[in-house]
Structure 1
């Protein structure tokens, strides 16, 4: 009872008792054990913060811890590589949609030359597939990444077909010290308009942690309109504007697994330690060898008179494999990937492998469509359509493409003979289209159609030209001559 209940009960027992009875009945009718306060729920924290407020004070710390784990924890870097390898793979490639096939072919050449070469990278290093992998790595590690459009002057860039590049920037570039710009509110470096939509980003011109190159000189931020920025992150709650590292739910488990593994390795090192001890002789002489503090495998240590050595007997910790397997399973579930993707294929057959992949493939498909294609690739396509008219006259380009389509890489098959047969049956039954199934397998239907036509043209037998008859006489069929001779 609260102090008010106790006060009413002491002043008016009848009213106090009625109050307690009413509260007891209400609790019996509306009761959730998880929401109760007691020994079983001691230490549970359940603040009513918004999606962004929950991580606002600890976002940078989570980001730094996530980066450190990927530098030093094998399971963390394996999880990142599995996610990026399945989502991006060899690259999500573009294709153009135009009614005129000739213009579509010309436009596709422009797209390939600009996007599938380092021309698209502001640093001049990576083509689009490599940029996609960097974006996915950053989203996994930091929870979010910024992509900035850089407009270029074609007069000074003779090799570029389109006048823009993209620059990948870690979210550390956000100037979190700014709180307002005019009447707009600025939260963690992002400026929001009256409707709550991001209208600008306040970015440092260089990474705040790049002190090796620039020292600790003061940083200056620049206001960049939101139309020139792609903010790639996973949105889990309504109204969420920022992302969090994907390792956040499993950081504690990763740290404890790593500590446990190091303890097991140290125990094995101690168990494998073999040393020789020399006791003092009757004459009092001692062996002047290595000291006890320098004990190493194979060491010969001299003991002074009266010293005795008692070997330690460390307890044997059993169940190492089972403990590690369960811990890795917890990490895999927290990341949304299969346990087998961490390398343990013991006891896996076609059915179990297929079932595990089915669940993981659903997540991979969501990440492809919502993150890389939905936010990054469609943003790149929008920028291309915006700058295309600027380069059309200068570079003699075809008309602006109507739309861009993006094809994800082929998903590895567990049993190709069974899966291809099932795909053919789906197409024949009308459950899907041929081109959709081709895209699911990582192929561009337009490219396949063109190549099949080329293959058909090559397979046609070449007709030999008829040899001209000499002296104006026509050639006679030898069989006909033989028949005429017999007649």
Structure 2
């Protein structure tokens, strides 16, 4: 059996095929790729748009925590602590973001730098925080990649991450300050931080992969070529616009201006270059840009595909979109968003944060806690609300879904939403108000709802 892709021929001689594992490949490229990606985000508009687009779609206004607990009194106490700690900047070691802002920072860092670290910082009760801990979001530069191979304690390290003989992560070797900080004047020495104090977020692409790689890796060259192509077209048009007319002469090729001979060294709009005295005038013809739009659109489609987002959301070009094509593009992008959220952000960041919260709450309340922290993703805007709401209603009525599940899909906490609905109904009853949105009083067609008889 012969596979063309495995053959060695003139057609395949340019391929670079290696058998190294994921960590060997990442070690040689991660630092350079993240530096280039950061430069692109700083200077290439579409790179900045892609970074923010991914972060804002995965996190939205925040992935909200809720408590699952059989003890209603304890559940109320825990939910109060959630709001006090995570809905304020008290949870941020830098004092700038609430938990949802930190989620956004993490999901902006991961595509750009390939990975992000969240460090658990224990605090004293005297610090006056709702809970005695804070979160520090860190760039991957803090990890000492030079720590590799066998360690003195019998463990094994891969690019700053220390594993025990069974393959479990024991520690992360971190620098005390960012290696690129201007405040770092002396040579830093990394120190191991226990793994239970670190949440390491990156998208795993190969089994055994220990470090993340910038998501811009497959498209960096195309984004640079695209930017260079646009700059070249712009410069060509600028230069063409500077030459309005040429004056030819048969007496020579000297360039004169007010009796002084000198070469033309700069251009300006409306400029006329004098080749010699009198004779013939020829007007310049600016080059055409017929191929520009097609090339740019083709490049944008490839870049968007490489980043896992739709061309329309990446480029902002909605000129040829109809409802069906827009919905198909959004559904594919939504699948990627769900994967990034459910396979990466939730298990690697939010679950450790939930554990840290429960541990700190046990200290705060002075009791053992039997509870779980659930995470509700942000609401998804509906493309066709009339049809989608009807579909959700039918799914609930036929037992294919629950009210709580459909509420979570819209980004609502079911418990909070039910309490809000009950409060609205109570207030309306106390004031004697009847709204056609209240199924207890009015049917879907506006008729009075039949009164239910009390059960014996």
**What TM-score, normalized by structure 1, do the two folds share?**
0.81
CA distance in 2, matches of 1:344, 1:111: 41
Instruction: Return the alpha-carbon distance in structure 2 between the equivalents of residues 422 and 260 of structure 1.
Output: 47
Deviation at 1:301, TM superposition (A): 6.3
Q: Following TM superposition, by how much is the alpha carbon of 1:113 offset from its aligned partner in structure 2, in angstroms?
A: 0.9
Q: Where does residue 318 of structure 2 map in the other structure?
A: 345
The reply to whether residue 143 of structure 1 matches residue 114 of structure 2 is yes
CA shift digits 1:249-301 (9 cap, x unpaired): 11121111111111111122123225578999x9x994269962132114476
Contact 1:350–1:415 under 8 Å retained in 2: no
2:439 equivalent in structure 1? none
Which consecutive aligned stretches of 4+ in structure 1 deviate over 6 angstroms post-superposition? 276-280, 288-291, 300-312
Q: 1:384 matched to which residue of 2? A: 357
Change (3 A) 1:404 1:285: closer
Contact in 2 for aligned 1:96/1:401 (Cα 8 Å): no
Query: Is residue 256–residue 274 contact of structure 2 (8 Å, CA) maintained in 1?
Result: no
2-structure distance, mates of 1:286, 1:319: 38
Per the alignment, residue 97 of structure 1 pairs with 68
Pairing partner for 1:214 from 154, 172, 184: 184
State the SS of the aligned residue for 1:321.
Answer: helix
Separation in structure 1 between the aligned mates of residue 7 and residue 276 of structure 2, nearest angstrom: 65
Q: Distance in 1 between matches of 2:30 and 2:430?
A: 67
Q: Cα offset for 1:103? A: 2.8
Report the 3-state secondary structure (helix = DSSP H, G, I; strand = E; otherwise coil) of the residue aligned with 1:206: coil
Cα contact 1:287–1:302 (8 A) shared by 2: no
Which SS does the other structure have where 1:292 is aligned? coil
2-structure distance, mates of 1:359, 1:381: 30
Q: Which has the larger radius of gyration?
A: 1
Kindly tell me: are residues 117 and 286 of structure 1, through their superposed partners in 2, closer, same or farther at Cα, counting changes over 3 Å? closer
The Cα of 1:363 is off from its aligned counterpart by 0.9
| Deviation, structure 1 residue 112 | 0.8
C-alpha RMSD over aligned residues: 2.6
Secondary structure of residue in 1 paired with 2:67: strand
Task: Determine which of 319, 324, 327 is the counterpart of 2:296.
Answer: 324
Structure-1 separation of matches of 2:273 and 2:258 = 8
Establish whether residue 51 from structure 1 lines up as the match of residue 22 from structure 2: yes
Q: Secondary structure at the match of 1:57?
A: helix
TM-score by length of 2: 0.87
- Deviation of residue 302 (structure 1)? 6.8
How many angstroms apart in 2 are the aligned matches of 1:79 and 1:338? 10
Q: CA deviation at 1:310?
A: 7.4
Query: In the aligned structure 2, how far is the partner of 1:285 from the partner of 1:146?
Result: 65
Match of 1:19 in 2: none
Residues 143 and 172 of structure 2 are in contact (CA less than 8 Å); yes or no, is this contact kept in structure 1? yes
Q: Distance in 2 between matches of 1:275 and 1:318?
A: 21
- C-alpha spacing 1:309/1:56, structure 2 compared with 1 (3 Å): farther
Cα separation, 1, equivalents of 2:256 and 2:214: 64
Does residue 72 of the first structure (1) align with residue 54 of the second (2)? Answer: no
Contact 1:103 1:399 in 2 (8 A): no
Shift of 1:91: 0.6
CA distance in 1, matches of 2:293, 2:137: 41
Change (3 A) 1:294 1:194: same
Task: Please give the alpha-carbon distance, in whole angstroms, between the structure 2 residues aligned to 1:446 and 1:64.
Answer: 44
* TM-aligned CA deviation for residue 319 of structure 1: 2.1
Q: How do 1:280-299 and structure 2 match up within 5 A?
A: 286-287=257-258, 292-299=264-271
Cα distance between partner residues in 2 of 1:114 and 1:122: 12
- In 2, Cα distance between equivalents of 1:237 and 1:339: 26
Determine the C-alpha separation between the residues in 2 that align with 1:51 and 1:165: 33
Segments of 5+ residues of structure 1 without an aligned counterpart are: 1-29, 464-487
Secondary structure of the 2:170 match is strand
1:455 aligns with 2:399: no
SS of residue in 2 equivalent to 1:316: coil
Q: 1:418 aligns with which of 380, 384, 387?
A: 387
**Aligned match for 1:191, one of 162, 168, 171:** 162
Q: Report the 3-state secondary structure (helix = DSSP H, G, I; strand = E; otherwise coil) of the residue aligned with 2:231.
A: helix
Taking the aligned partners of 2:278 and 2:265, their CA distance within structure 1 comes to 18
Q: 2:13 aligns with which of 42, 47, 51?
A: 42
Greater shift after overlay, 284-293 or 38-47? 284-293
Q: Does the residue aligned with 1:207 lie in a helix, a strand or coil?
A: coil
Q: What pairs with 1:407-446 in structure 2 (closer than 5 Å)?
A: 407-446=376-415
Provide the rounded CA distance (Å) in 1 between the counterparts of 2:348 and 2:111: 15
**Aligned counterparts of 1:117 and 1:329: Cα–Cα separation in 2:** 40
Task: Tell me the CA shift for residue 173 of structure 1.
Answer: 0.9
